[in-house]
Amino acid sequence: MSHGRQALTSPVSAHQRSSHLADQEIRHLEKALSTAALVGARRSIQGLDAAYWSARANGVADGYVLLPSQKTRVMALVRAFAARAVAADTQGQAQLALPALLAG
């Protein structure tokens, strides 16, 4: 018996991961972004450019069942990484500055 209630979230795809797992990935991306901002252009890791981090953030948006607060955080990350990509292209820099400990 449904009692006229509607689902609070969209149906879960067989390929989507839980919101609990999304929190771990979101925290990792937030740490990567804040560390990149602190370190600046002094250090970078080959292959971990703004496009890579944008793809990771978009992967969270598409691959996880997100709560409303998580959607807000992910969208902020997507915008921030996109802005860094534009800034890197403008300055001729292809890499986000990240310490080696975030490479894993």
Sequence ranges of the domains in the chain: 19-102
Range list of β-strands (E), 1-104? none
Q: What is the pLDDT of residue 45?
A: 55
Three-state SS at 17: strand
pLDDT in tens, the chain (104 residues): 444 433 334 455 657 889 999 999 999 999 988 887 776 644 555 567 777 888 899 999 999 999 999 999 999 999 998 888 777 666 654 444 444 434 44
pTM, two decimals, is: 0.66
